[in-house]
């Protein structure tokens, strides 16, 4: 089934010079590696046997890392991780926390090479648009609210983040010298938890844990890394991320899209290391495919492109990393921008674009007057021109313009950018937001990339209405009615509005 109505939080990050979680260099690397191995129960040789569906973490079999996702307006997908395979993953649920009288089960308990976990996916159907309570195995009771149904014109907000990243010891650390994030301030994950009453759901189109950067950016290309070292570092960072987000993703739907850091274990390779240091489970988006359960028809591409409705809004998630129609290339496939070797996921080369065109052509704007597109790499952003995803201008822009997409949310660059309504290869359609005829683009890759924020590139092109790279941020979308939509870049540190604009549009 498809998804529904809610407030959405989307986080986009991009970073450059904040606190580095790990100092580079082989000496530090070895120290860290040694500590991690002790932490994660190495064998007599000092290696962790992740392996390949091994018994990593025996005795810790409680369900963790809960991720909810909308399924229409009366259902919810409940995904969770366990240390062992579950014969029949099970979720109990109901409207009364002390009487969970319904039970849903699933045959889906899967893993991938190198993972310490099994990913379990259960879909609950027939839920009410009131708070629903649920329990996995014998764990704590949580609650969720299903999406507002399409056509429900009740005002709501959503949160959007991109490039969120792992926080703390294995990711973005506070810095005493940073005005953007010091130890007295909240990071974006903490902020999303604190403000959970302010939005219906969270969306993140790409770049989650940044676990792949460990080898590329910390080894300096000189360390004598082994595959075991790599798996250890990757998994510790990755597990930390999924543990952290569970604080909000266990109570709010978390609708995701794919980014370049989901592609493989090393983000294309660095120094002496190429993608061949990655075990198969850490190539070809294998982890991303296993961990999430987005709406769709059950095909392999479901987590890569799909759509869902929440109240007065239709959302379409698109994929800049693979599956662009010839002669263009997704960013992570052979021939693409990043020199990676990942594979397309669609049944045929035009599968993604055909889906998006058919999806947008069938939107009932009386029910869902607003249309928001969510994807990873931007083609309009206050970054260096070399960082722009130029195929997007040929592949996606004409479709979004033709079908009257109102707002496009992206990240990848660790900065904030708000454009004016823009179309036709960078032509500003108008310099205000009243009755725009072209999409407005927002880049918010400033959610929490592990090494900080990126530079903004000046002079700004004339389509840039606002840009900033001094604060960590999430985006808050507020749908007031069929004619007024407010986008705000929110400062994660204090929840103050950094920049706000209201699009006024008669649909
Ligand atoms: Fe990215």
CA distance 176 to 364: 51
Q: Is a pLDDT exceeding 90 seen at residue 355?
A: yes
> What pLDDT, on a 0 to 100 scale, did the predictor assign at position 59?
34
* Position 237 confidence tier, pLDDT thresholds 50, 70, 90: confident
- The mean pLDDT of the chain is 86
> What pLDDT, on a 0 to 100 scale, did the predictor assign at position 47?
40
Q: Is a pLDDT exceeding 80 seen at residue 212?
A: yes
Stretch 305-313: mean pLDDT: 98
* Position 497 confidence tier, pLDDT thresholds 50, 70, 90: very high
* Position 61 confidence tier, pLDDT thresholds 50, 70, 90: low
CA of 135 to the centre of ligand 1 (A): 34
CA of 431 to the centre of ligand 1 (A): 28
CA of 283 to the centre of ligand 1 (A): 16
CA of 70 to the centre of ligand 1 (A): 24
> What pLDDT, on a 0 to 100 scale, did the predictor assign at position 106?
92
> What pLDDT, on a 0 to 100 scale, did the predictor assign at position 33?
34
CA of 413 to the centre of ligand 1 (A): 7
Tell which residue, 441, 445, 462, has the closest CA to residue 454.
445
Per-residue tokens: 269 = 């390779």
**What is the tens place of the pLDDT at every residue in 409-437?**
999 999 999 999 999 999 999 999 999 99
CA distance 77 to 123: 4
CA of 197 to the centre of ligand 1 (A): 28
Query: Percent of the chain scored above 70 by pLDDT?
Result: 86
Stretch 97-105: mean pLDDT: 93
CA of 59 to the centre of ligand 1 (A): 36
Per-residue tokens: 336 = 């693409």
CA of 406 to the centre of ligand 1 (A): 23
Q: Is a pLDDT exceeding 70 seen at residue 55?
A: no
> What pLDDT, on a 0 to 100 scale, did the predictor assign at position 389?
98
482 to 155, 361, 362, 405, 479: CA distances (angstroms): 9, 19, 18, 14, 8
CA of 317 to the centre of ligand 1 (A): 15
CA of 267 to the centre of ligand 1 (A): 10
> What pLDDT, on a 0 to 100 scale, did the predictor assign at position 113?
84
CA of 181 to the centre of ligand 1 (A): 21
CATH number, domain 10-53+151-504: 3.60.21.10
CA of 285 to the centre of ligand 1 (A): 14
Three-state secondary-structure class, residue 107: coil
CA of 258 to the centre of ligand 1 (A): 9
Q: Which residues pair with 342 in a beta bridge?
A: 333
CA of 236 to the centre of ligand 1 (A): 20
> What pLDDT, on a 0 to 100 scale, did the predictor assign at position 57?
36
* Position 6 confidence tier, pLDDT thresholds 50, 70, 90: very low
30 vs 105, higher pLDDT: 105
**What is the tens place of the pLDDT at every residue in 66-80?**
999 999 999 999 999
CA of 154 to the centre of ligand 1 (A): 34
CA of 269 to the centre of ligand 1 (A): 15
pTM of the model: 0.89
Neighbours of 364 (CB within 10 A): 11
CA of 411 to the centre of ligand 1 (A): 7
Q: Is a pLDDT exceeding 50 seen at residue 42?
A: no
Q: Is a pLDDT exceeding 70 seen at residue 112?
A: yes
Dihedral pair phi/psi, residue 44, rounded to 5°? -65, -25
Domain boundaries, the chain: 10-53+151-504
Q: Is a pLDDT exceeding 90 seen at residue 235?
A: no
* Position 20 confidence tier, pLDDT thresholds 50, 70, 90: very low
- Which residues, by Cβ under 5 Å, contact ligand 1, an ion? 207, 259-260, 412
Tell which residue, 466, 501, 413, 498, has the closest CA to residue 180.
498
Q: Give the DSSP per-residue string, 118-156.
A: EEEEEEE-S--SS-EEEEETTS-EEEE-PPPPTT----E
> What pLDDT, on a 0 to 100 scale, did the predictor assign at position 30?
29
Per-residue tokens: 397 = 């822009």
> What pLDDT, on a 0 to 100 scale, did the predictor assign at position 218?
64
CA of 445 to the centre of ligand 1 (A): 8
Stretch 209-232: mean pLDDT: 74
> What pLDDT, on a 0 to 100 scale, did the predictor assign at position 116?
81
Stretch 116-131: mean pLDDT: 86
> What pLDDT, on a 0 to 100 scale, did the predictor assign at position 24?
29
Q: Is a pLDDT exceeding 90 seen at residue 84?
A: no
CA of 376 to the centre of ligand 1 (A): 7
3 to 71, 126, 163, 377: CA distances (angstroms): 4, 13, 23, 24
Query: Quick one: residue 53, left, alpha or beta (phi over 0 = left, psi -120 to 50 = alpha)?
Result: left
């Amino acid at each position: 089934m498809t998804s529904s109505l809610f407030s959405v939080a989307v986080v986009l990050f991009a970073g450059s010079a904040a606190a580095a979680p790990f100092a580079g260099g082989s000496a530090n690397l070895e120290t860290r590696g040694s500590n991690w191995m002790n932490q994660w129960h190495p064998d007599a040789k000092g290696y962790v046997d992740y392996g390949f569906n091994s018994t990593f973490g025996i005795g810790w079999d409680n369900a963790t890392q809960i991720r909810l996702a909308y399924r229409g307006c009366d259902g919810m997908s409940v995904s969770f991780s366990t240390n062992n395979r579950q014969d029949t993953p099970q979720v109990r649920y109901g409207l009364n926390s002390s009487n969970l009288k319904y039970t849903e089960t699933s045959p889906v308990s899967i893993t991938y090479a190198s993972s310490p976990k099994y990913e379990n996916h259960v879909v609950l159907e027939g839920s009410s648009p009131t708070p629903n309570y649920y329990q996995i195995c014998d764990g704590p009771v949580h609650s969720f609210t299903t999406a507002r149904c399409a056509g429900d014109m009740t005002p709501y907000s959503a949160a959007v983040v991109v490039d969120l990243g792992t926080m703390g010891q294995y990711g973005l650390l506070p810095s005493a010298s940073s005005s953007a994030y010091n130890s007295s301030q909240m990071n974006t994950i903490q902020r999303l938890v604190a403000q959970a009453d302010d939005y219906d759901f969270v969306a993140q189109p790409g770049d989650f844990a940044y676990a792949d950067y460990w080898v590329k950016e910390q080894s300096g290309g000189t360390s004598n890394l082994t595959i075991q070292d790599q798996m250890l570092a990757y998994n510790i960072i990755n597990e930390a991320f999924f543990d952290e987000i569970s604080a909000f993703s266990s109570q709010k739907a978390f609708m995701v899209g794919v980014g370049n850091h989901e592609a493989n274990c090393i983000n294309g390779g660095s120094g002496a290391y190429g993608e061949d240091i990655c075990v198969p489970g850490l190539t070809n988006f294998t982890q991303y495919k296993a961990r999430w359960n987005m709406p769709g028809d059950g095909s392999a591409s479901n987590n890569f492109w799909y759509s869902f409705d929440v109240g007065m809004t239709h959302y379409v998630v698109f994929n800049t990393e693979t599956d662009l129609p010839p002669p263009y290339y997704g960013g992570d496939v052979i021939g693409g921008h990043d020199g990676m070797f990942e594979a397309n996921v669609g049944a045929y080369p035009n599968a993604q674009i055909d889906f998006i065109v058919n999806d947008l052509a069938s939107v009932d704007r009386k029910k869902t007057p607003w249309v928001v597109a969510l994807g990873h790499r931007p083609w309009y952003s206050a970054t260096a021109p070399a960082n722009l995803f130029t195929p997007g201008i040929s592949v996606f822009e004409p479709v979004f313009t033709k079908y009257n997409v109102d707002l496009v949310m992206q990240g990848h660059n660790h900065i904030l950018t708000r454009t004016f309504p823009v179309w036709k290869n960078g032509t500003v359609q108008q310099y205000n937001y009243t009755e725009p005829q072209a999409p407005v683009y927002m880049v918010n890759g400033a959610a929490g990339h592990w090494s900080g924020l990126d530079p903004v590139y000046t002079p700004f092109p004339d389509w840039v209405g606002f840009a900033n790279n001094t604060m960590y941020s999430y985006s808050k979308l507020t749908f007031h009615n069929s004619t007024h939509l407010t986008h705000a870049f929110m400062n994660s540190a204090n929840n103050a509005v950094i920049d706000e604009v209201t699009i006024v549009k008669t649909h």
